[in-house]
Amino acid sequence: ADSKCYGHMDIYDLLKSHGGKAPRNRRTPMMASNPGEIPEYELNPGELQFRKGDEVLKGTYQVAKWNGTKVSVKIVDRETYSDQEAINSFRHELTVFEKVRHPNVVQFIGAVTQNIPMMIVSEYHANADLGSLIQRKGRLNGHKVLRYALDIARGMTYLHQCKPDPIIHCDLKPKNIFLDNGGLMKVGGFGLMRLSKMAPDKVKLMNHEAIVDTFSYYTAPEMHRNEVFDMSVDAYAFGFILYEVSTPFCSIYAVTLRCAQSRAENITSWVSDLIT
């Protein structure tokens, strides 16, 4: 399969003459028409090993081993291969992810686009995410709050300063911030939102109903209202994260529970009550 994929037809013919079976044609929506078009980030799926007994869940990140190193793998459900919107979202996430390099941003490792199933591979953090850390420890001490806040701010500043267009996260929250083995916070979960450019510094969500979490207090009001917005929506979310890591655990989560029980359409009004 590799010899045919990468254009080594002499090796392919040799293997076939000795009884090698020709690989089945398993085309993906991103299949390159010739070997020269295969992206540099392409990984051999045979090098990814999932633990036996683990259920492979499509559309979610799960742990695997790549050449002996633990990695986080997002597997694309093959049922979405005929959904052009889903494929465009995958391409967008991949395009954003592959161009970023910063100590406070989750590292892109590679992707599988020429084989089924398609996958995005990134670095794995065994220390879990900031949300889990808050649940375990509650309010953090002042030194850690400052250190973590600076890490997140550096990562987000880098994303906002990307060229030619800034990368607006749109879903910044503790579950998308990860603690590495060296104690650094790293921003992840970006590149999932497809945006329409409305002005040089203004954008709008392309699919508001399918993306915005009505009960997320990290989401800025203009996003709830499906209005144009800019990088300040990430600053809004960052402020809530700072509040959460420096405030007793139960108070901030009480807001979500209260909204869910009342089936409110959005929580903007509850947010105002909380911080005043």
The catalytic residue positions are: 171
In whole angstroms, what is the distance from residue 87 CA to residue 98 CA?
A: 16
State CA 16 to chain mean position distance: 41
Q: Which helix (H) or strand (E) holds 256?
A: helix 249-262
Question: Do 268 and 221 form a contact (C-beta atoms < 8 A)?
Answer: yes
In whole angstroms, what is the distance from residue 198 CA to residue 143 CA?
A: 40
Q: Which helix (H) or strand (E) holds 153?
A: helix 142-160
Sheet holding 69-75, edge to edge: 48-49, 61-66, 69-75, 119-123, 108-112
Peptide bond before residue 117 is cis, with ω within 30 degrees of 0: yes
Which letter does DSSP use for residue 77 in this model? P
- Shortest CA distance to 102 belongs to which of 44, 21, 160? 160
Nearest 10 degrees: CA dihedral of 96, 87, 61, 4? -90
Helix axes 130-137, 232-245, angle to 10 degrees: 20
In whole angstroms, what is the distance from residue 97 CA to residue 110 CA?
A: 9
What is the radius of gyration, based on Cα positions, of the chain? Answer: 21
SS3 of 37, please? helix
